Amino acid sequence: MAKLAFLGLGVMGAPMAGHLAKAGHEVTVYNRTGSKADAWVKTHGGRAAGTPREAADGAEFVMACVGNDDDLRAVCLGPDGAFAGMGEGSVFVDHTTVSAAVTRELYDAASDSGIAFVDAPISGGQAGAENGQLSIMCGGDLDAYSRAEPVMEVYAKLCRRIGDSGAGQMTKMCNQIAIAGLVQGLSEALHFAETSGLDGRAVVEVISQGAAGSWQMSNRYETMLDDRFDHGFAVDWMRKDLGICLDAADESGASLPVTALVDQFYKDVQKMGGGRWDTSSLIRRLRKSD
């Protein structure tokens, strides 16, 4: 078993760190709000640290799941950052969804200190984190990935290295691009069924077994029909992710017209007060337009 640190104990990070502790690893946790770290320790054991550096001191692996580019820089860099406490040959694994640019920046900074850096964004939502069924898409050096993979597998359904540093984040962008279009399409289908006087559940029972079927349809249609949007991955975070996608598309020359449109639809949801609703709340925007 390994000595680990986990930085960030939100709805994803807390259960992921819990799986590591349950697997027998020695886990030290850090969270910006210290009370969350103390509560995690009461439940899972281990130790809470006051700074990322303290948490990372002597750790073989440091995992992070924080909010955005700036949050990630804050836990990595500076005199109290994790890199300052990590020893040569240790591995930093970033599960945050951030830009490929900050990933490559931190990969270089880690390399200068003899630290390996793996970008490993996740998909599967809060339920996937709680059940240890996340999909993890990774970028970084093969040796570092090979060392980190057995650790990540305790909360993974699938874990794959896609390529060099940044490849994991670019793959996560593909994931979010695909989800945005799917959720909008599902919202429109369910809204059309409602306005046409059809039984939405009966409609989904039939069409989910054909070419229209998707994970989003199977796992979100009931709560969408019931107008409940409390699954955890918030609209605010989706807009952050889509902004990363659109910025990267500008750099690469990719055309993302549907993604740009759905991003604006999510902006409408935010204006409705739905920034903390989950991403399936796009249907509420359509209902409001009736």
Digit-coded pLDDT (tens) for 107-125: 999 999 999 999 999 999 8
105, pLDDT greater than 80: yes
Angstrom distances, CA of residue 79 to CA of 48, 52, 263, 290: 19, 10, 37, 55
DSSP 210: T
Q: Are 267 and 240 in contact (CB under 8 A)?
A: no
Q: For residues 29 and 133, what is the distance between their CA atoms, to the nearest angstrom?
A: 21
Residue of 3, 172, 267, 288 marked catalytic: 172
At 126-137, the pLDDT tens digits run 889 999 999 999
Q: Is the pTM of this model over 0.75?
A: yes
231, pLDDT greater than 90: no
For 93-135, what is the HEC assignment? EECCCCCHHHHHHHHHHHHHCCCEEEECCEECHHHHHHHCCEE
Compute how many other C-beta atoms are within 10 angstroms of the C-beta atom of residue 91. Answer: 24
193, pLDDT greater than 60: yes
At 165-190, the pLDDT tens digits run 999 999 999 999 999 999 999 999 99
- Is 172 known to be catalytic? yes
Give pLDDT, residue 289: 64
Three-state secondary structure call for residue 52 = helix
Average pLDDT over residues 21-46: 97
Percent of all residues in the chain with a pLDDT value above 90, rounded to a whole number: 97
Q: Are 92 and 116 in contact (CB under 8 A)?
A: yes
51, pLDDT greater than 80: yes
225, pLDDT greater than 60: yes
pLDDT tier for residue 254 given thresholds of 50, 70 and 90 = very high
9, pLDDT greater than 80: yes
Give pLDDT, residue 290: 55
